Amino acid sequence: MLPLSAHALTETGRILTGRCGVGLLEDLAASQLPQAFADLARLLHPGATLEVLSMSNAGIREAWGAGRVQLVLNEVPALPRAPRRTVRRPLVWAIGHDVDVVADPLPVVLFANTCFWRTSVLEALVGADRPWRVAFESNSLAGVLAALRAGLGVLRRSRPRTLNRP
């Protein structure tokens, strides 16, 4: 979508200038989105720059407050000023290979730091009165996805999406 937008702008003869900063959630930084941004940057007029940042919530809040980031693709609590638009993506349960989902307690893969994903998992399990145990914790998306692939437990995350390239 981003490369097509840039192509449409250049086809109309509009010259793109200025700078745009984007703050990314680690899930998105580990997807095909950085390639889409790279494709867009290559299509931009030489007077335009794109800066993409994947950092902690605190770092994104600071960058947003300082005006370094104009677009945030993340669940960032307490931004210094309210965003113009927000979009929420539903979370889905992901089950590691050969994980017994009726096990008691259920083995769960969690982010170590308090975040939207961790909170939603724990609230869902408590709300369902489902016994659980921590099978793996990590501060990084790469760590929790590796634990999921290894079959250590279940996790709740944003639905993975792929971007089609023209």
The model's confidence at residue 6, banded by pLDDT at 50, 70 and 90, is low
Residue 136 in this model has a pLDDT that exceeds 90: yes
What is the tens place of the pLDDT at every residue in 38-88?
Answer: 777 777 666 778 888 888 778 888 898 898 988 888 776 667 777 777 777
**What is the reported pLDDT for 164?**
43
Residues 6+ apart with CB under 8 A from 113: 139
- Residue 52 tokens read as 């993409």
CB-based contact 123:97 (threshold 8 Å):
no
Helix (H, G, I), strand (E, B), or coil: what is residue 66? coil
CB-based contact 70:21 (threshold 8 Å):
yes
**What is the reported pLDDT for 84?**
75
Q: What count of Cα atoms within 13 Å lies in the side-chain half-sphere of residue 128?
A: 11
What is the tens place of the pLDDT at every residue in 11-43?
Answer: 556 666 788 888 887 767 777 778 877 777 777
- State how beta strands 154-158 and 91-95 pair: antiparallel
- State how beta strands 132-138 and 106-111 pair: parallel
CB-based contact 92:117 (threshold 8 Å):
no
